[in-house]
Structure 1
Amino acid sequence: MSAEANLAGLYPPDGQQVFNPNISWQPIPVHTVPESEERRFLQMVANETGMQDVTLESVWSVYDTLFCEQAHKMDLPVWVTPDVLNQLKQLKDFGFEFLFGIHNRVEKARLQGGVLLDHIRKNLIKATNVSAHQNLKLLAYSAHDTTLVALQMALDVYNKIQAPYASCHLFELYQEDDGNFSVEMFFRNESGKEPFPLTLPGCQHKCSLQRFLELTDPAVPQDWEQECRVPSSVHDTELFVGLAVCGSILLLLIILLLTVLFRIQSQPPGYRHVSNDGEEQA
């Protein structure tokens, strides 16, 4: 919905594009990918919200809901005092750092925001081929605030502030007079102000594309499934083959055991004592 709202503002219909004079809008495709590809305070939050299990990982959703309601100028519940809201914000901020950073931040960044960063890097490289992409002016990704945090964590530029509605992380590609390319980053989180510049650690605000790629390379996964230890189809095939072999061996052992038992039962009886009168005695 956010992507569609942004595109409606970027591309108002004109001329033959106007299909209804009362609607200043035209349909624009939005591409997505399948989905397949402190305890006492927390207890109070659980009691007030009705949530069964409030943890550091889930408390951010409570604050996020209140943040959205406050942004829409809705009345907050009576239990949400300024102090409670501030404590929730601190827990949410720490929860984000816990999820995306602190321990093994670089490794987490590779497996989280590094995936999106990899797409952005590849598109920047493609855009340098001016002859092949002369009509390409803008690539836009519409996502959640958590996606934005993950990306900025991967770039090591996260400022630990809740991203408001319509926040935007901008990557601008420039071709310099000498023919080389440079990248500038900005973050817009307030409509009434110009976006403020972001500087990639280890580079200047205007960072050469080559240096930008070098500095961000550690934050990009080379083989996401392997690094996440996600079972691949190859591993699944090996598992099925292994199970089939073990099953076949077990079946052969059972057949062999049954064969031995059958032969033992079919053999003629051994020595038996016979009495003088010809009757067999056990």
Structure 2
Amino acid sequence: MEDIRVAALFCLGLISMFVTCVATDDQNRLLLVQAIFRHGDRSPQKTYPNDRYRSYWKQGWGQLTQEGKRQAYNLGKFFKNRYGDGQLLSSRYIQSEITIASSDYDRTLMSAYCVLSGLYPPNGTDQLWNADIDWQPIPVHTKPRDEDYEISYKSSCPKYSKLVKDYSGNNTMANFVATHQNLVNDIVRISGLPRDSWKDIEDILYCQYKHNLSLPEWESVLPFSRVASLRDVFVSFAIPTHENAKLRGGPLLKEIIANMQGKLNNSSQEKAYLFSGHDSTLVALMRVLDVFDNIHPLYSSCVMMELWKKDNSSFVRILYKNETENNKTHSLKIPGCIETCPFEDFVNILSSSIPKNILEECKDEQYMLGVSVDGPTIGVLVLIALFSLLIIIIAILSVYIYRARQSSRIYRALPAEDEDL
């Protein structure tokens, strides 16, 4: 009898543990993560006239370096430790669980592949296709730059260009130059850059300092600490208004929310979306979320937007990893909500930051023409257009008459067969 009672208590204990685990799982369960990250270390995007190290960058300008590959690979291992091995993602690559997108740049595409190498090494003999390579091919999707409004900063948006040009706060850069005129003069003198290109130096020097190249001519004028602070100053001027942020960060935010909605209504199987982009991608997204701290995103920085299920409700948690060499993260809180922001509140708060149709909202006929549209200007444009059309018509008629006269003098044989299929 005692044995039966002990067995019964043991069974009840197991059942209780199972119910507790299920209840805990229902109360707080990660459904989806969307990670937006910057590429790894790269070469400068350009050089300057007095640059002693222009031949150092063997792969060319703006290319992922060996160090950058390692950084991206380590980011993939970070994802594996945080989300892989059954925590959210399976321990092995399953096509239906994850989608990866990249901007159409060598450095972002290569970073995406390196991240995937760290996240999904071959697991099992069916995934080990070559015993000499601890790697498996995983697809990365991309769009042409001028069509990519989600990740690339180069997509055509005349309205955005006009807003930047007309921004009343643009005098902040002019004020900076006026306050630091001696610095600008030194940069122009040492670099040989034209005065209107002096800002280019901060990215070039940053890359050179990160690769431990000797720069004695710069160390008194722009030591590494000052270059880093300049980067923060310049990035603080980027995407300054809500309307700017809507046009640049809004399309990606729209896709992120759509992916969350797809997960909640069970129309999507994905458990993760990865976006391989640029510092500008991260800045635009954090600007539109109104959480940017005006600190330049480092290589392999990453914003993770997690969708959680809690009881019968869902919430969004945003984490930011602005460290290259360690795995520290901190939470970001959108204004008007808590860190674990209920999904409906998250959508409602950000609804004004999402473009309904980015192609339409990017249009700006005035800026595309490059002129203002006051009354006299419109009249001049109409007259120019009509005169140009008249010239084109006369030219076409002249060519037609000339060819008709020529064809009447030359014998041409008819084709023996119809060329249509």
Same fold by TM-score greater than 0.5: yes
Which one of 86, 93, 112 corresponds to residue 3 of structure 1? Answer: 112
Q: Give the secondary-structure state (helix, strand or coil) at the position aligned to 2:276.
A: coil
**Is the CA contact 2:315–2:342 (under 8 Å) kept in the aligned structure 1?**
yes
**Is the CA contact 2:206–2:227 (under 8 Å) kept in the aligned structure 1?**
no
Task: Quote how far apart the aligned CAs of 1:92 are.
Answer: 2.8
**Is the CA contact 2:246–2:355 (under 8 Å) kept in the aligned structure 1?**
yes
Task: Quote how far apart the aligned CAs of 1:129 are.
Answer: 2.1
**Is the CA contact 1:66–1:76 (under 8 Å) kept in the aligned structure 2?**
no
Structure 2 length-normalised TM? 0.50
CA distance in structure 2 between the aligned counterparts of 1:6 and 1:169, rounded to whole angstroms: 15
Instruction: Report the residue type matching 1:107 in the other structure.
Output: E
Which one of 79, 82, 86 corresponds to residue 217 of structure 2? Answer: 79
**Is the CA contact 2:302–2:321 (under 8 Å) kept in the aligned structure 1?**
yes
CA RMSD in angstroms comes to: 3.1
- Tell me whether 1:43 sits opposite 2:175 in the alignment: no
Distance 1:76 1:222, change over 3 A: farther
The equivalent of 2:85 in structure 1 is: none
**Is the CA contact 1:63–1:88 (under 8 Å) kept in the aligned structure 2?**
yes
The equivalent of 1:63 in structure 2 is: 202
**Is the CA contact 2:235–2:296 (under 8 Å) kept in the aligned structure 1?**
no
CA distance in structure 2 between the aligned counterparts of 1:245 and 1:32, rounded to whole angstroms: 44
Task: Show the 5 A alignment for 1:210-225.
Answer: 210-225=344-359
Distance 1:230 1:7, change over 3 A: farther
Moved more, 13-22 or 203-212: 13-22
Q: Give the secondary-structure state (helix, strand or coil) at the position aligned to 1:16.
A: coil
Task: Show the 5 A alignment for 1:140-151.
Answer: 140-151=274-285
CA distance in structure 2 between the aligned counterparts of 1:195 and 1:123, rounded to whole angstroms: 23
Task: Show the 5 A alignment for 1:219-238.
Answer: 219-230=353-364
Superposed CA deviations along residues 114-140 of structure 1, whole A, max 9, x for unmatched, are 22112111111112123x32x311100
Distance 1:227 1:21, change over 3 A: same
**Is the CA contact 1:46–1:53 (under 8 Å) kept in the aligned structure 2?**
yes
Which one of 114, 118, 127 corresponds to residue 263 of structure 2? Answer: 127
Instruction: Report the residue type matching 1:13 in the other structure.
Output: P
What stretches of structure 2 of length at least 5 have no aligned partner?
1-109, 148-176, 366-380, 395-421
**Is the CA contact 2:235–2:295 (under 8 Å) kept in the aligned structure 1?**
no
Distance 1:167 1:186, change over 3 A: same
Moved more, 38-47 or 195-204: 38-47
The equivalent of 2:244 in structure 1 is: 108
CA distance in structure 2 between the aligned counterparts of 1:107 and 1:142, rounded to whole angstroms: 24
The equivalent of 1:183 in structure 2 is: 316
CA distance in structure 2 between the aligned counterparts of 1:219 and 1:124, rounded to whole angstroms: 17
Distance 1:12 1:43, change over 3 A: same
Superposed CA deviations along residues 65-112 of structure 1, whole A, max 9, x for unmatched, are 33333334x2242233276244444443232222211xxx11111111
Distance 1:65 1:126, change over 3 A: farther
Which structure would you say has the larger Rg?
A: 1
Q: Give the secondary-structure state (helix, strand or coil) at the position aligned to 1:79.
A: helix
**Is the CA contact 2:321–2:328 (under 8 Å) kept in the aligned structure 1?**
yes
CA distance in structure 1 between the aligned counterparts of 2:195 and 2:277, rounded to whole angstroms: 27
| Percent pairwise identity | 31
Task: Quote how far apart the aligned CAs of 1:246 are.
Answer: 9.1
Task: Show the 5 A alignment for 1:194-273.
Answer: 194-230=328-364, 247=389
**Is the CA contact 1:8–1:25 (under 8 Å) kept in the aligned structure 2?**
yes
The equivalent of 2:89 in structure 1 is: none
Instruction: Report the residue type matching 1:42 in the other structure.
Output: V
Which one of 103, 118, 121 corresponds to residue 254 of structure 2? Answer: 118
Structure 1 length-normalised TM? 0.72
CA distance in structure 1 between the aligned counterparts of 2:140 and 2:216, rounded to whole angstroms: 40
Distance 1:21 1:48, change over 3 A: farther
Task: Quote how far apart the aligned CAs of 1:219 are.
Answer: 1.6
**Is the CA contact 1:118–1:220 (under 8 Å) kept in the aligned structure 2?**
yes
Which one of 34, 41, 48 corresponds to residue 144 of structure 2? Answer: 34
The equivalent of 1:279 in structure 2 is: none
Q: Give the secondary-structure state (helix, strand or coil) at the position aligned to 2:306.
A: strand
The equivalent of 1:278 in structure 2 is: none
CA distance in structure 2 between the aligned counterparts of 1:203 and 1:82, rounded to whole angstroms: 46
What stretches of structure 1 of length at least 5 have no aligned partner?
232-238, 253-282
Superposed CA deviations along residues 162-220 of structure 1, whole A, max 9, x for unmatched, are 22221110000011112x21100000123434311111111000001111111111222
CA distance in structure 2 between the aligned counterparts of 1:50 and 1:4, rounded to whole angstroms: 38
Task: Quote how far apart the aligned CAs of 1:2 are.
Answer: 1.1
The equivalent of 1:165 in structure 2 is: 299
Question: How many residues matched?
Answer: 235
Distance 1:193 1:29, change over 3 A: closer
Superposed CA deviations along residues 29-88 of structure 1, whole A, max 9, x for unmatched, are 111111221244223223333433545xx72x532333333334x224223327624444
CA distance in structure 2 between the aligned counterparts of 1:197 and 1:52, rounded to whole angstroms: 42
Q: Give the secondary-structure state (helix, strand or coil) at the position aligned to 2:216.
A: coil
